[in-house]
Structure 1
Amino acid sequence: MATRLVQIAMNARDDSALGRFWAEALGWGVDSEGPGVTNIEPVGLAYPDPAAIFIDVLRVPEPKTVKNRVHLDLATTSAAHQAEWVERLRALGAKPADVGQGDVPWTVLADPEGNEFCVLEPREVYWDTGPMAAVAVDCVDPRAMARFWGEAMDWTLHEVTDDHAVLRSAKAVGPYLEFLRTPDVKTVKNRTHLDVRPYPGDDQAAEVARLRALGATDVDLGQGDVPWTCMADPEGNEFCVLTPR
């Protein structure tokens, strides 16, 4: 039994507007499964596909108040590509953001609702990921996060140090999941969280029980009666266990 990361869920005051931004930013398509939910999907891929991490934008009433602990890193193939993409993103409504990065080769921006993301300088490791290089998660202990998520999912652990941990789909395709050490601790509900899904034929309840045994806890996000289970990892980062598919 195992799960795999299939999508991220991003909170927004206006899911439709933020969904349009990210669809245009990534060159993906837009759909909706119902009011208050905008789905951002790569063109030509059938969900779920290990070659991409899909995005669900979910409407919420509360505004963003603190720096996000989960953000996207975008991949570029050349310095010119990076500069062109930054210019296009700013034309779409992104703004420069200062998260204390100092003098770095990547560019930190914020989307129209203030969610930070990075446009990376060219890095060979990301040349086959598609436009999304990685989902990056701030954490206190990357080694502990690697232990939990390495057992929670069937993704491959590529690297782990005191400062970062890196995982990728066992199929060796798509974006990476990276845990980055930071001194800050989690104080509020994450506005972006991971959604994992068991494989077809697996038992969702058994998978949830297995994740609890690994150190996950149940959380109430006001989700009500839904087919998925809301949990938190050992550092309190919320995630959802979806139905097998």
Structure 2
Amino acid sequence: MTVQLEALVVDAADPVALARFWAGVLGWTTAEDRPGAVTVVPSDPGCVALRFRSAAAPSGASRHHLHVTSTSTDDMAATVERVLALGGRHLDVGQQPDEEHVVLADPEGNALCVIPPWNRFLAGTGLLGEVAGDGGRATGVFWSEALGWPLVWDEDDETAVQLPAGGTKVAWGGGPVAPKDGVSRTRMEVVAAAGTDLADAVAELERLGAVRVDTVLAEGDSVTLVDPSGTELVVLSPR
């Protein structure tokens, strides 16, 4: 393990409002624990935190979207209604009429899917069942080695990793990956593991396949890289 996952970061025009939306959807709490950012803190063991960081004009497309689980058909319907009541909307991404999940967007247009209760892949993951990202097998292997999370899915260029104890799965849907249109408005934020300084953590991530870039996406001691899919990630110094 080189780094520990802090949060999925989302650039937001109004991070306070967007964090309030997601806290309402998931039933989690919020904390202003980083400069210029609000974090939605999981109450489900093993679930990934969401951090909304102030960006005057988020420009790049999101390279991740979120899958929210349900426990019954009534719970699924209630979750969809909760998203809409909090300011979300339905989103057309070309899904077919017979697809069973519901595609929605948060108030700033970030996609989320509400997943039916009979979906076995996300059974037991918690309410935030999956962070779905752009990338092929090389990206999943990179993150598995960086985080020390085992590959729980590895088939046809699609991969997923998960903590051994369970919780949110982080997955990549395989190629081809859409061309980037600027800095991704979503990215992983990680912290150097205990006993590892920032420089050593960055060097190990580079050895695993990340590439350092000039973009600065976090305040304080941090380094920005891109993973094998070209998606930005930020490495923070240990607190």
Cross-structure match for 1:28: 28
Helix, strand or coil: the match of 2:134?
A: strand
User: How far 1:96 moved relative to its partner?
Assistant: 0.5
Q: Residue 75 and residue 225 in structure 1: after superposition, are their counterparts in 2 closer, same or farther (change >3 A)?
A: closer
**Among 131, 140, 145, which residue is 1:146 paired with?**
140
Cross-structure match for 2:42: 42
- Provide the C-alpha distance between the structure 1 equivalents of 2:138 and 2:105, rounded to a whole number of angstroms: 29
Range with bigger deviation, 142-151 or 172-181 = 142-151
Contact 1:64 1:113 (8 Å CA) reproduced: no
Range with bigger deviation, 219-228 or 95-104 = 219-228
Cross-structure match for 1:198: 192
Q: Residue 237 and residue 72 in structure 1: after superposition, are their counterparts in 2 closer, same or farther (change >3 A)?
A: same
User: How far 1:102 moved relative to its partner?
Assistant: 1.8
Cross-structure match for 1:102: 96
Cross-structure match for 1:180: 173
User: How far 1:223 moved relative to its partner?
Assistant: 4.1
- The one-letter code matched in structure 2 to 1:102 is Q
Q: Does 1:91 align with 2:85?
A: yes
User: How far 1:163 moved relative to its partner?
Assistant: 4.3
TM-score, with structure 2 as normaliser = 0.90
| Cα deviation digits, residues 70-122 of structure 1 (max 9, x gap) | 11111111222111110111011110011122231101100000111111111
User: How far 1:35 moved relative to its partner?
Assistant: 5.9
Contact 1:77 1:127 (8 Å CA) reproduced: no
Range with bigger deviation, 146-155 or 20-29 = 146-155
Q: Does 1:62 align with 2:57?
A: yes
Q: Residue 147 and residue 163 in structure 1: after superposition, are their counterparts in 2 closer, same or farther (change >3 A)?
A: closer
Q: Does 1:133 align with 2:126?
A: no
- The one-letter code matched in structure 1 to 2:130 is A
Percent same amino acid among aligned pairs? Answer: 36
User: How far 1:150 moved relative to its partner?
Assistant: 2.2
Cross-structure match for 2:208: 214
Cross-structure match for 2:152: 158
User: How far 1:198 moved relative to its partner?
Assistant: 2.9
Q: Please give the root-mean-square deviation of Cα atoms over the aligned residues, in Å.
A: 2.0
Helix, strand or coil: the match of 2:74?
A: helix
User: How far 1:197 moved relative to its partner?
Assistant: 2.4
Q: Does 1:14 align with 2:14?
A: yes
Range with bigger deviation, 77-86 or 118-127 = 118-127
- Provide the C-alpha distance between the structure 2 equivalents of 1:105 and 1:55, rounded to a whole number of angstroms: 25
- Provide the C-alpha distance between the structure 2 equivalents of 1:149 and 1:230, rounded to a whole number of angstroms: 15
Contact 1:36 1:59 (8 Å CA) reproduced: yes
Cross-structure match for 1:82: 76
Contact 1:8 1:195 (8 Å CA) reproduced: yes
Gaps of 5+ in 2: none
4+ aligned runs moved over 6 Å, structure 1: none
Helix, strand or coil: the match of 1:58?
A: strand
Q: Residue 196 and residue 65 in structure 1: after superposition, are their counterparts in 2 closer, same or farther (change >3 A)?
A: closer
- Provide the C-alpha distance between the structure 2 equivalents of 1:225 and 1:192, rounded to a whole number of angstroms: 16
Range with bigger deviation, 150-159 or 21-30 = 150-159
- Provide the C-alpha distance between the structure 2 equivalents of 1:235 and 1:98, rounded to a whole number of angstroms: 25
- Provide the C-alpha distance between the structure 2 equivalents of 1:97 and 1:65, rounded to a whole number of angstroms: 18
- Provide the C-alpha distance between the structure 1 equivalents of 2:96 and 2:145, rounded to a whole number of angstroms: 35
Q: Does 1:111 align with 2:106?
A: yes
Contact 2:6 2:49 (8 Å CA) reproduced: yes
